[in-house]
Amino acid sequence: MASTRRIFLRNAGLAMVGIGSAPIWLQRALNAADAPAQRKKILVAIFQRGAADGLNIVVPHGESRYYEMRPTIAIPRPSANIAKEDAAIDLDGMFGLHPSLAPLKPIFDARQLAIVHAVGSPDPTRSHFDAQDYMESGTPGLKATADGWLNRALPLETGHISPVRAISMGATLPRSMRGGNNAIAVENINNFQVKDNGAAKILQSLYSGSTDQVLNGTGRETFDAVALLQSIQKTPYQPTTGANYPRGRFGDSMRQIAQLIKSNVGVEVAFADIGSWDHHVNEVGQKASQGPLANILSEFGGGLAAFYADLGDRMSDVVVVTMSEFGRTARENGNRGTDHGHANVMFVMGGDIKGGKVYGDWPGLAQEKLYEERDLNLTTDFRDVLGELVVGQLGNRSLRTVFPGYQTQKFRGVLRSS
Amino acid sequence: MQRKVLAVVVLFFSISGFSALARKHKLENAPKPAVAQMSSDQKALHALNRLTFGPRPGDLEVINQTGVDRWIEFQLHPESISENPLLETKLQPLDTLRMSPAEMVAAYPPPQQIKAMSEGRMVYPSDPETRFMLQKLVARYKQKLMEKGDAQPAADKMADSSELLNADQLRTFQTGSNSEKAGLFGTLPVMTQLTLLDAMPQPKRQQLFAVASPELRRRIQRFAGPLQVVNQDLSDSKLLRAVYSNRQLEEVLTDFWYNHFNVYLDKGADRYLVTTYERDVIRPHVLGNFKDLLLATAQSPAMLFYLDNFQSVGPETPNPNANPNAKRAKRGLNENYGRELMELHTLGVDGGYTQQDVTEVARCFTGWTIRQPRRGGGFEFNERQHDKGEKHVLGVTIAAGGGMEDGLKVIDILARSPATARFISKSLAVRFVADNPPQELVELMAATFTRTQGDLRGVMKTMLASPEFWTPSAFRAKLKTPLEMVASAIRAMNADVDYGFALNRELTQLGEPLYRKQEPTGYSNKSQDWVNSAALLARMNFAMNLTGNKVPGVKVDLQRFVNAQNDPMTIAHDILMTDLTTEARQVISQGLADNNIANNKSAPIALVAGLTLGSPDFQRR
């Protein structure tokens, strides 16, 4: 592995001489390639787009109000009378995982998965678009923020800056990742190149020489990343035995992020999203293990569990955090679904996580405790969870830059090192 | 090319009453001296860049001869422009474009019906060809069940079909080229064709597709999956119209308004509802009245299904279609449509409505539903699902017992709101003028919207007569969306589009699969959302694929560049209709020289054309 990487770097460096000087990172990498690659702490952010129903994902089965408010779509309490795969998986007597998240239970038990409940954005909007925008900009209520929290979370770099230090899986760069630091979107790392060799070099120069600021910047980032990713395109990726990624875009994204991390190409933050959470109608099938929520949770939980298995010991460097723009109504609606709500649930997974616990103050579902008399109330601001990871995992202490205008209230202490 | 220019000009002038029309609708050009204006050359190209899917060779001559203002006036009256006969020829075989949803379901049934027929719960249709196809699909389905998904067209199927052929025919079928096979199919009876198609493995059928006659193509497509035909016709028609229509502004606006009232094609029944949604709900109103458009979308099965309103039910009304086996649930209110109606369709998220308004609007629309949604039924108001109580929407009291009127009142309130006038004006200005359009322009357009009670043609005219539209800083300032990039590249190359599925695959790589934006927001009209490394690489690869003739279904003829072969800059100019930037010119010349390919006679045209289409210059409009 080390030697192929070195050869790649030399060849890529030489290839680029013809069209101008090799970028600084590549020159440095050429010189440093004999030294073992420096390991970085890595943060992977997952966005569940469409407002995931936190109350059916981490189920408050200890609270009878939950069952009163959701007569036909509640996830049943674990009990001897009901098949295991159709009931919540108990975590602590009060909360339980949706049965489709069974693959996450061993990680929770190994204390490498923490859950924060009743968490989210304090902004009252129930617009998917605005709420995603606010969560991704990291500035609820402020539309003018130009860049995303994950871009600002990248620590100041000295020396070698990898062109893939911030990478998002998919055809568009999410709001979270936009901003002054280089960040790239990659649909498929094995396909990430201009296929026509003759054209590739000229196109590269067209973009790097363009006075079009936007296209020039993105073009440079793109071709730097192309050069680097060629090094890992040569060998087909074989996940660790036992890491079974689910079929579909989310599984593909997680597999590729794992591949990048294990290839030591300098990833520091990665982003993937997973859609199909907006269940206004028939959210749960005849049994809890059926229906659209169960299906998307299988993909979600399966992808996270496969990633965990795939990285193995390397998880000690990695934290994965999940979020969704808002939760859903505490009561089911008229179509066995749920409408747009408020607070939600987040998962935090990693080697350095103090897991095996559901964090956050549970506000309860009593009518007077609900937000606007309909939704789960918020007791943890999502920026407290992300902020702890920005400081503790990425080593970036300037939270005022990452979450401008926000005064951290209380880190929940999900990280071992913080 | 000369002939074509002439033909189009003649066509323009042959329209009766032309000059009267032009006088009557003369654009009120009242330039404010404060805003600098483009040169007239730039104006013509700017109009083509913004109001069409990109200039084709000859378009610049046409607009210059017609005059920019008159050309715009024609585009604002698409009915005054005769449609391109080539487009009509290409759309002709796509028969689902002219069907009702119910007819589509019958002719191109969904997988559920194939299952139902296999279980004897549904009878086969009487049309012999459809019947035969369905029998084959049912047989395939049953075989799949038996083999647990390991379906392999059995060898005996091949043997059976070969009995239908004589020795010569058999040889052609087994070892002939795809064109020879296509020729053979043309000579065979329909049922024999179908039997042979059924026996062929899918990849072989796909190869045949490229060279097949329109009739054979339909048969091949139906075997691949009848439902997909409906969706493919739709995407193909969008691409074909973008590339070939003479009524370019109407196409651009249809894209804009479809996207404004976005519906996601892959959501259940919408697979059969989007074709008529675009055809009958969006397209007729794009230069009409906003309230008519809004009401048409509110009553369209496609929207009612997409945003769940068809099953939103008021309190104390029994579920009329209750499945006795389902868990007993009292159906009730669903807020999805009520919210998006205000946030995305009319007022905008800052338009001053509250959660309470969302709930009240949702109550007003209870009972607005679909008759038999899965069978392509139409809109109906179901009194029994309607919440009959009093409602309060945005400060207006809607009295109890209003029935269907409640929803109509909401439409009226929203269509008249100044917030709607501003929101719609701004959205149009973002698409046509700038990512951050000047506030004065938006106010001007909104004033027209309010004065004319939502005349969309009037709003467009105000925008196009404004100095802000023609300010030099607007020239090539908008980044093309993927659809704009792909369509404009095809138009610039004067390429021939035979079929579109490979193009739609390219668009997916670029980030814009047609009709498949899942969120009700639709695709972004802002540049920043389309600039990223994955999309940029995909654009470059598409450019090279296109000019290298590697996009199935699309043919580029490089002949017209032969005279310019030794002058790459002329090729680039022919494509861009303006000069490449100085930096780009230098890079291309240097790159060609470095690679020693300037002397190679066969490669440069495709390469230079591809570099031009993939360059930063071409990404802007």
> Could you tell me if B551 lies within 8 Å of chain A, comparing CB atoms?
no
pLDDT in tens, A66-96: 999 999 999 999 998 999 999 999 999 999 9
pLDDT of B157 reads: 66
Q: Cβ B595–A198 below 8 Å, yes or no?
A: yes
* Statement: residue A106 has pLDDT above 60: yes
Going from the N-terminus, what domains does chain A have, and what CATH number goes with each? 1-36 (no CATH), 40-191+235-402 (3.40.720)
Say which DSSP state A26 is in: H
Please give the average per-residue pLDDT across B9-37, as a whole number: 50
From chain B residues 353-372, the ones with a CB under 8 A of any chain A CB are: 355, 358
pLDDT of B606 reads: 92
* Statement: residue B150 has pLDDT above 50: no
pLDDT of B155 reads: 58
Radius of gyration of chain B (CA): 27
CA distance A306 to A315: 12
Say which DSSP state B93 is in: T
pLDDT in tens, B553-597: 999 999 989 887 778 899 999 999 999 999 999 999 888 888 765
pLDDT of A26 reads: 46
* Statement: residue B1 has pLDDT above 60: no
CA distance B363 to B380: 16
CB-nearest partner of B533 from A127, A221, A280: A221
Q: Cβ A209–B358 below 8 Å, yes or no?
A: no
User: How many other CB atoms sit within 10 Å of the CB of residue B421?
Assistant: 26
Percent with pLDDT over 90 in chain B: 67
Q: Which tokens sit at B283? A: 């397209």
Please give the average per-residue pLDDT across B319-348, as a whole number: 74
Does residue B367 contact residue B382 with C-beta atoms inside 8 Å?
Answer: yes
Which SS3 state, helix, strand or coil, does residue B462 take?
helix
Q: Cβ A335–B311 below 8 Å, yes or no?
A: yes
Q: Cβ B308–A280 below 8 Å, yes or no?
A: yes
A189: closest chain B residue by CA: B534
* Statement: residue B146 has pLDDT above 80: no
Please give the average per-residue pLDDT across B327-350, as a whole number: 84
* Statement: residue B69 has pLDDT above 50: yes
All residues of chain A having their beta carbon less than 8 Å from the beta carbon of residue B326 are: 286
Does residue A352 contact residue A319 with C-beta atoms inside 8 Å?
Answer: yes
Percent with pLDDT over 70 in chain B: 89
- Closest-CA distance of chain B to residue A339, Å: 7
> Residues near B112 by Cβ (< 8 Å), separated by ≥ 6?
B374
Tokens 């399966």 locate to A302
All residues of chain A having their beta carbon less than 8 Å from the beta carbon of residue B537 are: 192-194, 222, 226
Tokens 């073009």 locate to A219
pLDDT in tens, B354-395: 999 999 999 999 999 999 877 778 999 999 999 999 999 999
- Closest-CA distance of chain A to residue B334, Å: 6
CB-nearest partner of A126 from B308, B339, B536: B339
* Statement: residue B481 has pLDDT above 80: yes
Report how far apart, in Å, the C-alpha atoms of B173 and of each of B163, B186, B196, B214 are: 12, 12, 9, 19
Please give the average per-residue pLDDT across B281-292, as a whole number: 98
Taking the CA atoms of residue A93, residue A96, residue A102 and residue A105 in that order, the dihedral angle to the nearest 10 degrees is -50
pLDDT of B377 reads: 82
Q: What is the Cβ-side half-sphere exposure of residue A362, based on CA atoms within 13 angstroms?
A: 18
The neighbouring-strand residues paired with B554 are: B497
> Could you tell me if B571 lies within 8 Å of chain A, comparing CB atoms?
no
CA distance A123 to A138: 11
Of A338, A323, A331, nearest to A291 by C-alpha is A338
Least confident of A187-196, B430-439, B463-472: A187-196
B393 membership: H or E segment, kind and range: strand B391-393
pLDDT in tens, A396-407: 999 999 999 999
pLDDT of A5 reads: 40
pLDDT in tens, B27-43: 445 445 578 899 988 99
Identify the band that residue A28 occupies on the pLDDT scale cut at 50, 70 and 90: very low
Tokens 């087994």 locate to B174
DSSP one-letter string for B324-347: TTS---------HHHHHIIIIISS
- Closest-CA distance of chain A to residue B273, Å: 19
pLDDT of B268 reads: 84
> Could you tell me if B592 lies within 8 Å of chain A, comparing CB atoms?
yes
pLDDT of B159 reads: 65
CB-nearest partner of B332 from A198, A199, A333: A333
Please give the average per-residue pLDDT across B530-539, as a whole number: 90
Average pLDDT, chain A: 89
